[in-house]
Amino acid sequence: MTIFRPNTDRTRAPADWSGAHRWNIRIYYEDTDAGGVVFYANYLKFMERARTEWLRSLGVNQQELSATQGLIFIVSELSIEYKSPAMLDDEVSVLSLVTQIGRASMHFFQRVIRQDRILAQGQIRVGCVNRETLRPAAIPADIHQLINVSSTSLR
């Protein structure tokens, strides 16, 4: 079993979030426990959806990537910090910022916020892998370029 030990340089919250992708979501009953508080694992779902919507905003269709090139993205590491609860009917935003991109992986810093209050934040490493073998594979050059151009944190 591998225990995630964050690299402090990579996991420090970015100072500038101006280039972050924003995805808004309403908190529904199904997202909460009996007390109306968002269940902790749902923050990971919100972050996953936000990364998918970010890729979609760049014109990357993950089903097409899988079908035509046999490539998928998987989470290989994560660390999350919970700061304040989201509640039933809240409207929250998930901010997603690529902080590092390699040949076959990307590092994200993501925040779930309500107005300006941080509810949860996490560092996520996403790997590009071959769908059949689940072995690391290079991020296609055109997608790599799109990510570099769209991510002000990488400049």
With a cut of 60, say whether residue 38 has pLDDT above it.
Answer: yes
114-153 pLDDT, tens digit per residue, is 999 999 999 999 999 999 999 999 999 999 999 988 886 6
3-state secondary structure of 140: coil
What values do phi and psi take at 76, rounded to 5?
-110, -20
What is the pTM for the complete model shown? 0.88
Q: Which domains, and CATH codes, for the chain?
A: 18-154 (3.10.129.10)
Which 8-state DSSP code applies to residue 35?
A: T
Q: How far apart are CA 70 and CA 54, in angstroms?
A: 20
Which entry of 16, 31, 33, 142 is annotated as an active-site residue?
Answer: 33
16 has catalytic annotation: no
**How confident is residue 88, by pLDDT bands cut at 50, 70 and 90?**
very high
The per-residue pLDDT for 155 is 55
Q: What is the DSSP string of 92-110?
A: EEEEEEEEEE-SSEEEEEE
